[in-house]
Amino acid sequence: MDIIIRQMQESEAKEAVKVARKSFGIVGYILIRKPKHGIVAVVDDKIVGGVFYYTKNSGAKKIGVVSFLFSDPNFQGHGIAGNLLDECIATLWEDGCDGLVTYVQDDNVASWAAFEKRGFVKTTILKSAKALGSSTALKSQLFFTQSFAFCVGADFYMALPNMETTKTYERKDISIVQIGLFILMNLILLSFIIVRSIDPLRAIAAITLLLGSTALVGWIGTWFTRRKWRFRLAQGGFISTVLASAFTIFIMIGNWYPVKYENTPKFRRDMALNSILIWLFLFVIMICNMFIDNLILEGMQNLSAALLIYRCVPILPFSSYGSGRVWNWNKPVFAVFAVVSILLVFVI
């Protein structure tokens, strides 16, 4: 198969967007718009993959943004995404960029590995601002007005011309600290529920206990693998999470992630096991509330019900709550857990 990697022509933008939306599904239809710049992979005059990018200025710094990397599902496994990314990165460096940034969804193993292999590190918005320009300018351009602020469960990546310098801005995830931030940020987001509750202190206790317990159960799930794991709060989607929380219970994503990623069946099984244990724990909370009269347990049940409903939807952003891991490993198992979740929520 002869694959040609080249710059996207202006007349091809519409076709490239169609392929991108096919790859990203519903999320693609919401976020992907007609790009000004892109690189495409072509087979027999047909676009089968691409990467969209643009540049922004932050003070005296020029920043290259890799916005969407995709390939037609029918053509995956041929190294198309890697070749596209190589060409895109080379193009942005040649264009005089002082740094490159992108965001990647939490469990998108292939994309994480691809960016890390090419010198990107997971970082924070503030650290990238320190490296690439003033905090105010960078945040206004790359956080509040770009889709990263709406992509729940995404993480921020950056590359600088010098790899050693890039490493100094890498985000260091200390699990206990990240768990604390996970609970604190969600207590703030759910403050409207806490304030409106009859007993705010019990509401705080219920939310803290449930979120802390899911982190603990997820940690137990890591025992059954031979991998090193870390807990982290994903930064992406802050604005959309705040907006959603105004109408329903919607929390920021926090989960256990392997330090080293693989694209293997065993890796997918280990990821699913971690999520299944948390899913079972939510079942236990729902069932216990049927037989135990306790106000804190009742508060935990309300949040558990919301999380169970989210886990029944294996598409972004809901897949980041854990269902995506089970779906990617074993769809029949996912179906069983989804059915039980619906029955528990609506019966109880």
Determine the Cα–Cα distance for residues 177 and 231; give it in Å rounded to an integer. 9
Residue 194 and residue 342 in one domain? yes
pLDDT tens track for 164-207: 888 888 888 899 999 999 999 889 888 877 777 778 888 888 88
Query: What's the total number of domains in the chain?
Result: 2
| Residue 208 confidence (pLDDT) | 92
Could you tell me if 157 and 179 lie in one domain? no
Specify whether 128 is located in the same domain as 257: no
Q: Is the pLDDT of residue 285 over 80?
A: yes
Same domain, 226 and 311: yes
What digits encode the pLDDT tens for the residues 47-101?
888 889 988 887 778 889 898 888 877 777 778 888 899 999 999 999 999 899 8
The percent of residues above 90 in pLDDT, for the chain, comes to: 23
**Same domain, yes or no: 249 and 276:** yes
Q: 158 with 63: CB under 8 angstroms? A: no
Are 291 and 340 in a shared domain?
yes
Q: Which of 124, 141, 167 is the last residue of a domain?
A: 167
* Single residue among 167, 196, 218 that ends a domain in this structure: 167
Considering the domain architecture, whether residues 59 and 85 belong to the same structural domain is answered as yes
pTM (predicted TM-score): 0.83
Domain holding 29, by residue range, is: 4-167
Same domain, 189 and 127: no
Three-state DSSP string of the chain = CCCEEEECCHHHHHHHHHHHHHHHCHHHHHHCCCCCCEEEEEECCEEEEEEEEEEEEECCEEEEEEEEEEECHHHCCCCHHHHHHHHHHHHHHHCCCCEEEEEEECCCHHHHHHHHHCCCEEECHHHHHHHHCCHHHHHHHHHHCCHHHHCCCEEEEEECCCHHHHHCCCCCCCHHHHHHHHHHHHHHHCHHHHHHCCCHHHHHHHHHHHHHHHHHHHHHHHCCCCCCEEEEECCCCHHHHHHHHCCCCCCCCEEEEECCCCCCHHHHHHHHHHHHHHHHHHHHHHHHHHHCCCHHHHHHHHHHHHHHHHHCCCCCCHHHHCHHHHHHHCHHHHHHHHHHHHHHHHHC
> pLDDT class for 229, splitting at 50, 70, 90?
very high
- First and final C-alpha spacing in the chain: 55
Shared domain check, 39 and 72: yes
Pair (274, 134) in one structural domain:
no
285 touches 192 (CB < 8 A): no
Whichever domain contains 52, its CATH number is 3.40.630.30
Rounded average pLDDT over 35-49: 86
| Look-up of token digits 């930064």 | 235
For 125, other C-beta atoms within 10 Å of its C-beta total 19
- Among 167, 184, 212, residue at a domain's last position: 167
Using an 8 Å Cβ cutoff, are 39 and 8 in contact? yes
Assess whether 200 and 144 both reside in one domain: no
In angstroms, rounded to a whole number, what is the distance separating the alpha carbons of residues 59 and 99? 13
Average model confidence (pLDDT) for the chain?
83
- Tokens 């096991």 belong to 273
Both 215 and 324 in one domain: the answer is yes
